[in-house]
Chains A and B, each alone.
Chain A
Amino acid sequence: MKIMEGSHAVAEAVKACRPHVISAYPITPQTHIVEEISRMVADGELACEYIRVESEHSAMSVCVGASATGARTYTATTSQGMALMHEVLFNAAGLRLPIVMTAVNRALSAPINIWDDQQDAISQRDTGWIQLHAEDSQEASDMIIQAYRIAEDHDVLLPVMIGMDGFILTHVYEPVELCPQEKVDEFLPLYEPTQYLTPKNPLTFGPIVDPSMYMEFRYMIHEAMGRAKKKIMNVASEFRDKFGRYYGGLIDTYEAEDAEVLILAMGSVIGTIKDAIDELRADGKKVGLVKVRCYRPFPAEAILEAAKDAKAIAVLDKNISLGHEGALYTDVKSVLYNKGPLALGFILGLGGRDITKSTIENIVAKAQKAIESGRVEEESEFVDLDQEVL
């Protein structure tokens, strides 16, 4: 166990996975991850090609090209950089390349804001990337090793992004246990591509596909997403057997079994929610948590199973689909439609606004009020808005 910065814990996990090619462009608050990795390469600690580029669009394009040759690749970005990668993200998924990326979470401009929310990753929802979200530095680090196992599985072959809240996790120093190299080597064998670019056997990656076949390729990605669900759960279990740490499969729960009010969220806010739940439970309130580890593929069955006996579920979104509501809230409602508890949506923590225990307690109080009245008065609301400046 070492006390280290979250970004460095991620860099150490990347190193242990022995990637062949890394390409990245520095952007706050992702910088410390790629800075540390480039130091490792420069100091000879990590034997890999570190390709410096002029933009995130090029960083992801390098990963696509390198991955097509059968290389294990890694990159990291955040916010505007993730947005700049957007079109290449579709290509990485469509070409079925198992690239792994740390998606450090940060708000998007304008107005410019470098602090944490999850709008950047949520806005890449439909690119075909598997999207995981980490609760703490340890999980963000361990998820790297899990992600390669998931991505490179021949039944999956999809890229994986790991959401990691900017600053809250990237810049925090906390105790982290690093995975020993020999155990990582046992857990994560070399990537064996099913098809790859080589001058000895030329192939075409990225041909035009006309209306007679395009839909079938989209269907194949969708099916692979479905198969990934089981793989993500299995890899989490195997990781527990090998390294002794477990964070749940597609979701995790906390005090959820007899809970009347469930809070559903993802990312670093989970820790705050758990602390709030401990205090609420001490007061005799039946409150529990559903932590979404995997946002895409969406764990519909697992959420329904966890929520079916609750009376209300409060969904916390550190994002907003402007003009509608939080993205998680929409997804959760679609899962619970006609068969679940009352669902309330809360938009909070945008642009780094702190989410405190009292915020969580207020949300639980609103959920309890909805249970008493039997109806949800305001489906989706902003939390802790400063009305005085509006």
Chain B
Amino acid sequence: MKLSIGAVTEPGSTRINKTGSWRTFKPIIDVEACVGCGMCSMFCPEGVVYEVEDKYTIDYDYCKGCGVCAHECPSGAIEMVIEEK
């Protein structure tokens, strides 16, 4: 890919910027403990926690590891673990 003059791009180019690389701690959902309440998804400031068949999953390409989901989960089903890089 050649760079454009002035960094002008097609719309939606922010997707190229995989902000998941900024993460220090990674949220891991314990699917067994998850009650499917959706609090994690509602509170996620990045909007990267999705419902999949009554449970929840995280898009790690863009999750910055802020830990809000783990803090809000009423079932304690989300653990923040140090990211291995």
Contacts and interface: CB of A to CB of B under 8 A. Distances in A.
Interface of A: 94-97, 157, 194-195, 202-210, 213, 216-217, 220
Interface in B1-43: 3-14, 17
Contacts of B8: 95, 195, 203-205
Given A204-B11, A208-B14, A157 B5 contact: yes
List the 3 closest pairs (A to B, CB-CB), nearest first. Answer: A96-B6, A95-B6, A204-B9
Contacts of A195: 4-6, 8
A319 B8 CA distance: 36
Interface string B43-74: 00000000000000000000000000000000
A207 B9 contact: yes
A207 B7 contact: yes
A210 B8 CA distance: 14
A207 B14 CA distance: 7
Nearest to B12: A204
Contacts of A95: 6-8
B23 to A, nearest CB: 14
Nearest to A195: B8
Contacts of A213: 3
Interface residues of B, number: 13
Contact of A205 (B3, B6, B12, B17): B6
A221 to B, nearest CB: 9
A373 B17 CA distance: 62
Given A208-B17, A210-B17, A220 B5 contact: yes
Interface of B: 3-14, 17
Contact of A97 (B6, B7, B17): B6
A3 B13 CA distance: 54
Given A208-B14, A208-B17, A210-B17, A203 B9 contact: yes
Contacts of A216: 3
A95 B3 CA distance: 13
A189 to B, nearest CB: 20
Contacts of B17: 207-208, 210
Given A96-B6, A195-B5, 8 more contacts: A95-B8, A195-B6, A195-B8, A203-B11, A204-B9, A206-B7, A208-B17, A209-B7
A249 to B, nearest CB: 25
A157 B7 CA distance: 13
A233 B29 CA distance: 64
Contacts of A194: 5
A194 B8 CA distance: 10
B25 to A, nearest CB: 20
Contacts of B5: 96, 157, 194-195, 220
Interface centre among A157, A204, A217 (most CB of B within 10 A): A204
B41 to A, nearest CB: 25
A207 to B, nearest CB: 5
Contacts of B12: 204
B10 A157 contact: no
B11 A202 contact: yes
B10 A94 contact: no
B10 to A, nearest CB: 7
Contact of A157 (B3, B6, B11, B14): B6
Contact of B3 (A202, A203, A208, A220): A220
A293 B14 CA distance: 41
Given A208-B17, A210-B17, A217 B3 contact: yes
B9 to A, nearest CB: 5
A67 to B, nearest CB: 11
Contacts of A208: 14, 17
Contacts of B13: 204, 207
A213 B16 CA distance: 12
B21 to A, nearest CB: 8
A216 to B, nearest CB: 6
Contacts of A204: 8-13
Contacts of A94: 6-7
B43 to A, nearest CB: 24
Contacts of A97: 6
A203 B10 contact: yes
A202 to B, nearest CB: 5
A97 B8 CA distance: 11
